Structure 1
Amino acid sequence: MKEQLSDEIKEAKDDFEEYVKAQIDLIKLHSAESISRFFSGLLIKMVLFYLFFFVLLFGSLAIAFWLNKLLNSEGLGFVIVAAFYLVIGLVFMAVRKKMVEKPVIQSVIQLFFPNYIDYDE
Structure 2
Amino acid sequence: MSRKEKISDEIADIKQEIESYVQNKIDLTKLHVAEDLSKLTAGLAVRLLLFYIAFFVLLFLSMAAAYAIGSYTNNMVTGFIVVAGFYLLVGILFYLLRGILINRPIIKSFIHLFFPNYTKYEQ
Conserved? CA contact 1:106–1:118, under 8 Å: no
| Equivalent residue, structure 2, for 1:114 | 116
Say what the alpha-carbon RMSD is for the aligned residues: 1.1
Higher mean displacement: 46-55 or 95-104: 95-104
2:48 matched residue in structure 1 = 46
Residue 18 of structure 1 is matched in structure 2 by: 20
Question: Does residue 3 of structure 1 match 2:5?
Answer: yes
Alignment of 1:79 with 2:75, yes or no, is no
Deviation at 1:46, TM superposition (A): 0.2
Quote how far apart the aligned CAs of 1:98 are: 1.4
Q: If the length of structure 2 is used for normalisation, what is the TM-score? A: 0.93
2:45 and 2:23 map into 1 onto residues whose CA distance is: 33
Alignment partner of 2:62: what SS? Answer: helix
CA contact (8 A) 1:63 1:81 kept: yes
Please report how far the alpha carbon of residue 5 of structure 1 lies from its aligned counterpart in structure 2 after TM superposition.
0.4
Per-residue deviation, 1:16: 0.6
Distance in 2 between the 1:3 and 1:11 partners?
12
Matches of 1:106 and 1:74, distance apart in 2: 44
Task: List per-residue Cα deviations over 1:14-68 (Å, max 9, x = no partner).
Answer: 0110000100000000000000000100000000000000000011001101111
Residue range with higher mean Cα deviation, 89-98 or 15-24: 89-98
Give the Cα separation in 2 of the matches to 1:105 and 1:114. 13
Residue 63 of structure 1 is aligned with which of 48, 56, 65?
A: 65
How far the C-alpha of 1:74 sits from its partner, in A, is 2.6
